[in-house]
Chain A
Amino acid sequence: MKRILLFFSFLLVYVGVDSQTVNQQLKTASKMQESMPDSCILISQKVLTKISDTDIKDKGYAYWNLAQSYLYKHQYHTALFYALKGNELFAKSDTSRLYQDIQATIGWIYFDIGNYQYAVPYHQKALEIAQLRANLSEEVLYTNALGLNALSSNHYQRALGFFQKALFILNSSEEQNRSLLSTVQNNMGIIYIHYEDWVKAETFLHQSLENSSGVASGLLETYSLLSRVYLNTLDYEKCKAYLDKAENVSYKTSYSFSLIEYYKVRYEYERVIGNLKSAYRYQNKYIQLYKKINNRNVQGVMNYLIEVQDEKIKQDKLLIEQAQKIALNRQILVFVGITLAIIVIGILYYVFKSKAERSLLRQKLLKQELDEKEELQAELSSKLAYKNEAIETLALTMSKRNELVKKVAEDVSKSSSADVKKAWRKFEQAFNQYSDSSILSDKFIKDFKYRVQSQFPDLTNKELQLLVDIRNDLTSKELAEKYHVEVKSIEMSRYRLRKKLHLEKGVQLKDFIMKL
């Protein structure tokens, strides 16, 4: 039990330490977003592998770090990818600071790539969360952001509305946030410059300077804007004074939006003054920076994103169309298949039916034929049987006649009459001649041979003759006499015949032959 407790407490401590380090690492990374974006990316990505899917907070934090770092590196695709990934983690009703930051980051990404319309809903959401969290300075920050979106979309009136609202919020709060105030006042100055309302522009820009926190980029912008006001109101002395101030701070910042504004006013001023050499120099600087900012790369990102989105929509449409087509095709296919199957079955049914009918008919016919044949055969066999009987009877009569002849011969031999003996010899000769010839009719023999041959096709003529002889009731002795051979060789012939007729033991050859 103690061991288990120990194990669990150890586990708890381990988990605690681990999660703490993840969070700490993320915090450390977040501080490097702008200054060392690569390190921030490295740490965040490393940490990301340690975070489980369920730990939404840390995961979101890591994604936000990545998005911000890539934003500072001007790699907008990647920044947007991570920011949107972070965004997905949270419920729309989330009110955490992190969710707010992610919303704002997405807004700034869209803003930086020039798609101000897309930035609006995200800045709006960030503003809403800031309001719910009752964080006044963030509320002002995002109201100002919305103003910048409108300003960049050339919706000056709407932009002015947002800046005025930002001022209203700042003024109605007790806490002072002078640097924010300065920023908003500077932006009001931009609007009034656009409206060519020089008095209001001058007022707000001076107020902005009064509240400035002294950050070079902000100062440069305000100085430049002020000199633009004086340039337009033809107050060249003041214009020059602010341009000189701008020149001094211009070396302390690389913020391109401020610099470009400065170069532009400067070159216009120098041109008006007639200092063409200097004008040319600043115009050059302006053009170079303009190209850098408005390079196709950055502009292209937006187009690319839109293209990608359009492409995706197109593809989705295509997929849907294809799916619909496939579904339709499948339906057609199924329909065609079913139709075909029905047709095939129909044909088959018809074919089989007629075939069956025909075979039935043929069978009937065959049977009829068979019956007729059987009838014929029966008739034939009964005829045969009758003839056989007749023959047998004849044979019997003949053997009795032979015995009678023998008896007569014995009697004749006992008689001494030469005439009788002579007459007897003549009779015996005639009789023998007659008995040599077969007692079976030629027709019977022909039929018999035909039948036997068709049953046993490999019988030789000699063997056939033997068969006929046996059928003719000739004994082996008689056969030996007839053919002038030994009885033994007749016996051999009988044996071979038995074999050829495939007779089993115990079956009399004569009986078998008689049944053939």
Chain B
Amino acid sequence: MKKLILGYVITILFVSCQEQVQQNKGVDRYDYPDVLNLKGTITVPQQYGVSSFSDLGTWHSFSLNQEAENGQLGNFAGPYLMRQQQSFWLSPSILGLQIKDVVNNEILNLSEAENIANVFYPGLLKQSFELNDLQVELYLFNVNERSTVITADVTNKGSNQEVQLGWNGSVFGKLNASMQISGNALQIDINENESAQLLFNGNNIQKADTTYAYIDEELQLKSGERTTITAVFSYTFNETERAQYTNANQVFIKDVKPAYTANEERWNKYIKTLFQGSGAGLLDVNKYDKLAVKSLLTLMHNWRSAAGDIYHQGIVPSYATPYFQGLWAWDSWKHAVAIAPFEGQLAKDHIRAMYDYQNEEGMIADCFFRDLDIEGVNWRNTKAPLSGWCIYEVYEQTKDIEFLKELYPKLLKYHEWWYINRDHDQNGLCEYGSTDGTRIAAAWESGMDNAVRFDEAVIIENSKGAYSINQESVDLNAYLVQEKLYIQKIAELLNDKAVAGKYANDAEVLKAQIQNVMYSEEDGFFYDVELKSQDKIRIQGPEGWAPLYNNVATQDQAKEVVKVIMDASRFNTPMPFPTLSAAHEKFNPQKGYWRGPVWLDQAYFGIVGMNNYGFEAEARQMAQKMVESAKGMAYTQEPIRENYHPLSKEGLNAFHFSWSAAHIIMLF
């Protein structure tokens, strides 16, 4: 009997181990078809609500044609040109495959095709169908930061045929005057600098009004033989670039195979990395595998290369929201940390991009854009100090000491800038503020634009071009403690012992200051305090758990804060971690922005904060509750949203929002 039980147990163990092995081994991008719904029909240039695909930071994107299943085959929808508030769809479908039966002298009607598949895989749009004994497979993927390849494999499954392949397409009306042909390229001018370009493998291009057609040479396709036709679309921002990419892209026309293989390997590696998790493991990556892939895709689709007034590549908050096609200080630190395990270079450049907009005093701009003529740099304020965390975390992933050396002095300057420009009474506790003396910009500096805690704040001048509000914020100072510790670590790595010692010491002092001044024994929560009186501004928001996330609170204080977080009438709402206690009279979950809706960064800070102080069960429970309750998040093709309604759990505001995705990835 004992032997029998033992045997049974061993069998179970064996079987479960085998399954485990299989789960981790077989994962590649083809296991994740259509994680996001990228299907759409483009009828007008300002088409709204169609999600799209991009990769490697192109400033254009493509979608799957919704009508493919209804016979509109041989093409993909788009491209969408990302030009901030002036974004538009260039074409319903710029490249459509044409197949001519030479013997019968007729162009095949693709709508008669069979066995149609139209699928989005991570990093790839793929369409396949069969017609007239021909098996057609159409691929779309990006090959560099300006260009997309569309290639068709045509295999003859019947008897010998004579075929002629080609492309045709159209652009929306307004641009017809500016199409021009040169060599094997069709150039479409967007404005005096920008242009879109199609590259073919021959010169037989014709254009009329808003349409063009390209026809390849006739060819014999013997039974079982395969032929490939490739075209490249690129969107460039000046004449030099256009020439550069015209030249560089010729190689794909001749042989697209190496590019395809590289694309496949790169994406399979991403997926593999994703399933290794980040270490914290507060969410089960195998359980929420689709959500994990969706989060990664959200970041990848928001990847924008250096262009125009953006000098290094980075990740924008949302490609789908025109005013979010720029780089923001606060968002960027989060994006870079999340993407570092996948694309170290992108993470590093993302940080560099932000430091490109560090001024002489050391301040980093709030936000800036590719085309500053459309929307300028916001120098009126900066954002909360998370760049030390970001630089250190990216170093941890890339182990690039040169990168640390490059950023170290800049980081020090930025950190010190706070104490010169944002500490009105020089007591070591900083305030949010602005450069132009407006209260609104000071609130923006916190990132929590309209948080209730700033409603009564008054702006005061520190020095010329430096203003503070009359309250010392708990989140700001908690981040500053953490940043001092990161600076200490970096200084140690770079053998700068003096700085390391000083910052370690400063961190301890500030930590004690926060514990003593900003914690309310009565409420068991941390608050901002008024500048002179040090009276607590007793409005409960996510800033109250910033000391937990930054390891600033004492264990006893943390215990009390966790109680507040876990209170269903305050922060443990159906979708947990609202940006204002649900018990507050100004709680407005629908329109509140920072007065109710759940932002995943603050939720992440709460979860990690609880975990930091040993409340691991609570942390796991809340992490799971968050992803399970948010509508459309874990189990559907719906895009990840900017924020979520804490009561109805519905998604709010922008779609495909990067930092939401970034923080989900960090939880795995």
Residues of A near B438 (CB, < 8 A) are: 195-196
Given contacts A128-B44, A132-B43, contact A153 B591 (CB under 8 A): yes
Interface string of B10-48 (1 = CB under 8 A from A): 000000000000000000000000000000000111111
Which of A19-27, A158-166, A318-326 binds B?
A: A158-166
What's the Cα separation between A44 and B380 when bound, in Å?
Answer: 55
Pair A155/B440 contact, Cβ less than 8 Å = no
What's the Cα separation between A197 and B379 when bound, in Å?
Answer: 12
How distant is B345 from chain A, measured CB to nearest CB, in Å? Answer: 30
What's the Cα separation between A172 and B590 when bound, in Å?
Answer: 36
Pair B174/A161 contact, Cβ less than 8 Å = no
Which among A124, A131, A153 has the highest number of chain B CB atoms within 10 Å?
Answer: A131
B322 at interface, CB cutoff 8 A = yes
What's the Cα separation between A153 and B450 when bound, in Å?
Answer: 13
**Shortest Cβ distance from B45 into A: residue:** A131
Of A132, A158, A196, the residue contacting B439 (CB under 8 A) is: A196
Given contacts A160-B323, A161-B323, A196-B440, contact A155 B653 (CB under 8 A): yes
B292 at interface, CB cutoff 8 A = no
A304 at interface, CB cutoff 8 A = no
Residues of A near B593 (CB, < 8 A) are: 154-155
Given contacts A154-B593, A155-B653, A196-B438, contact A161 B43 (CB under 8 A): no
Given contacts A154-B450, A195-B440, A196-B441, contact A128 B85 (CB under 8 A): no
What's the Cα separation between A194 and B443 when bound, in Å?
Answer: 13
What's the Cα separation between A131 and B42 when bound, in Å?
Answer: 12
What's the Cα separation between A195 and B44 when bound, in Å?
Answer: 32
Residues of A near B44 (CB, < 8 A) are: 128, 131-132
What's the Cα separation between A172 and B177 when bound, in Å?
Answer: 14
What's the Cα separation between A153 and B590 when bound, in Å?
Answer: 10
Interface string of B72-98 (1 = CB under 8 A from A): 000000000000111000000000000
Of B43, B322, B439, the residue contacting A165 (CB under 8 A) is: B322
A148 at interface, CB cutoff 8 A = no
Pair A164/B85 contact, Cβ less than 8 Å = yes
What's the Cα separation between A117 and B323 when bound, in Å?
Answer: 19
Interface string of B436-472 (1 = CB under 8 A from A): 1011110000000010000000000000000000000
Residues of A near B183 (CB, < 8 A) are: none
Q: Interface SS of chain A: helix, strand, loop or mixed?
A: helix
What's the Cα separation between A153 and B597 when bound, in Å?
Answer: 14
Interface residues of A in 177-199 (CB under 8 A from B): 194-197
A507 at interface, CB cutoff 8 A = no
What's the Cα separation between A164 and B86 when bound, in Å?
Answer: 8
What's the Cα separation between A124 and B326 when bound, in Å?
Answer: 24
Of B374, B375, B380, B440, the residue contacting A194 (CB under 8 A) is: B440
Residues of B near A172 (CB, < 8 A) are: 174
Interface string of A128-147 (1 = CB under 8 A from B): 10011010000100010000
A127 at interface, CB cutoff 8 A = yes
Interface string of A312-335 (1 = CB under 8 A from B): 000000000000000000000000
Residues of B near A339 (CB, < 8 A) are: none
Q: Report the interface size for chain A: residues with CB under 8 A from the other chain.
A: 24
What's the Cα separation between A134 and B117 when bound, in Å?
Answer: 34
Q: Interface SS of chain B: helix, strand, loop or mixed?
A: loop
Residues of A near B436 (CB, < 8 A) are: 196
B409 at interface, CB cutoff 8 A = no
Residues of A near B375 (CB, < 8 A) are: 164
How distant is B435 from chain A, measured CB to nearest CB, in Å? Answer: 12
Pair B374/A164 contact, Cβ less than 8 Å = yes
Of A155, A165, A197, the residue contacting B85 (CB under 8 A) is: A165
A168 at interface, CB cutoff 8 A = yes
A435 at interface, CB cutoff 8 A = no
Interface string of A53-96 (1 = CB under 8 A from B): 00000000000000000000000000000000000000000000
A157 at interface, CB cutoff 8 A = yes
What's the Cα separation between A155 and B592 when bound, in Å?
Answer: 10
Given contacts A128-B44, A165-B85, A196-B441, contact A154 B322 (CB under 8 A): no
B614 at interface, CB cutoff 8 A = no
What's the Cα separation between A124 and B50 when bound, in Å?
Answer: 14
Given contacts A134-B173, A161-B322, A196-B441, contact A168 B86 (CB under 8 A): yes
Residues of A near B43 (CB, < 8 A) are: 128, 132
Residues of B near A127 (CB, < 8 A) are: 46, 48
How distant is A94 from chain B, measured CB to nearest CB, in Å? Answer: 13
Q: Report the interface size for chain B: residues with CB under 8 A from the other chain.
A: 27
Residues of B near A158 (CB, < 8 A) are: 321, 323, 653
What's the Cα separation between A245 and B476 when bound, in Å?
Answer: 46
**Shortest Cβ distance from B434 into A: residue:** A196
How distant is A80 from chain B, measured CB to nearest CB, in Å? Answer: 20
**Shortest Cβ distance from A157 into B: residue:** B323
Which among A134, A139, A168, A172 has the highest number of chain B CB atoms within 10 Å?
Answer: A168
How distant is B221 from chain A, measured CB to nearest CB, in Å? Answer: 40
Of A154, A160, A196, the residue contacting B591 (CB under 8 A) is: A154
What's the Cα separation between A418 and B380 when bound, in Å?
Answer: 188
How distant is B124 from chain A, measured CB to nearest CB, in Å? Answer: 30
Given contacts A124-B48, A128-B48, A154-B450, contact A168 B440 (CB under 8 A): no
Residues of B near A154 (CB, < 8 A) are: 450, 591, 593
What's the Cα separation between A134 and B174 when bound, in Å?
Answer: 10
Of B85, B173, B323, B441, the residue contacting A168 (CB under 8 A) is: B85
Interface residues of A in 219-277 (CB under 8 A from B): none
Residues of B near A196 (CB, < 8 A) are: 436, 438-441
How distant is A46 from chain B, measured CB to nearest CB, in Å? Answer: 38
Residues of A near B590 (CB, < 8 A) are: 117
Given contacts A154-B591, A161-B85, contact A131 B46 (CB under 8 A): yes
Interface string of A191-214 (1 = CB under 8 A from B): 000111100000000000000000
How distant is A469 from chain B, measured CB to nearest CB, in Å? Answer: 112
**Shortest Cβ distance from B444 into A: residue:** A195
What's the Cα separation between A165 and B86 when bound, in Å?
Answer: 6
**Shortest Cβ distance from A153 into B: residue:** B591
What's the Cα separation between A57 and B45 when bound, in Å?
Answer: 28
How distant is B299 from chain A, measured CB to nearest CB, in Å? Answer: 21
Which among A117, A155, A158 has the highest number of chain B CB atoms within 10 Å?
Answer: A158
**Shortest Cβ distance from B174 into A: residue:** A172
Interface residues of A in 112-135 (CB under 8 A from B): 117, 124, 127-128, 131-132, 134
How distant is B413 from chain A, measured CB to nearest CB, in Å? Answer: 27
What's the Cα separation between A124 and B450 when bound, in Å?
Answer: 27
Residues of B near A168 (CB, < 8 A) are: 85-86
Residues of B near A155 (CB, < 8 A) are: 593, 653
What's the Cα separation between A161 and B317 when bound, in Å?
Answer: 15
Residues of B near A194 (CB, < 8 A) are: 440
How distant is A263 from chain B, measured CB to nearest CB, in Å? Answer: 24
Residues of B near A124 (CB, < 8 A) are: 48
**Shortest Cβ distance from B439 into A: residue:** A196
What's the Cα separation between A197 and B377 when bound, in Å?
Answer: 13
How distant is B587 from chain A, measured CB to nearest CB, in Å? Answer: 15
Interface residues of B in 410-453 (CB under 8 A from A): 436, 438-441, 450
Residues of A near B46 (CB, < 8 A) are: 127-128, 131, 139, 143, 165
**Shortest Cβ distance from B47 into A: residue:** A128
What's the Cα separation between A376 and B436 when bound, in Å?
Answer: 138
Interface string of B296-333 (1 = CB under 8 A from A): 00000000000000000000000001110000000000
What's the Cα separation between A160 and B375 when bound, in Å?
Answer: 10
Interface residues of B in 173-188 (CB under 8 A from A): 173-174
With A128-B46, A195-B438 known, 7 other A-B pairs at CB within 8 A are A124-B48, A131-B45, A157-B323, A161-B85, A165-B46, A165-B86, A172-B174
Q: List 10 A-B contacts (CB under 8 A).
A: A127-B46, A128-B48, A131-B45, A161-B85, A161-B323, A164-B85, A168-B85, A168-B86, A196-B438, A196-B441
Q: Give the 6 A-B residue pairs with the shortest CB-CB distance, closest first.
A: A164-B85, A131-B44, A196-B438, A161-B323, A168-B86, A165-B85
Tell me the A residues contacting B by CB distance below 8 Å.
Answer: 117, 124, 127-128, 131-132, 134, 139, 143, 153-155, 157-158, 160-161, 164-165, 168, 172, 194-197
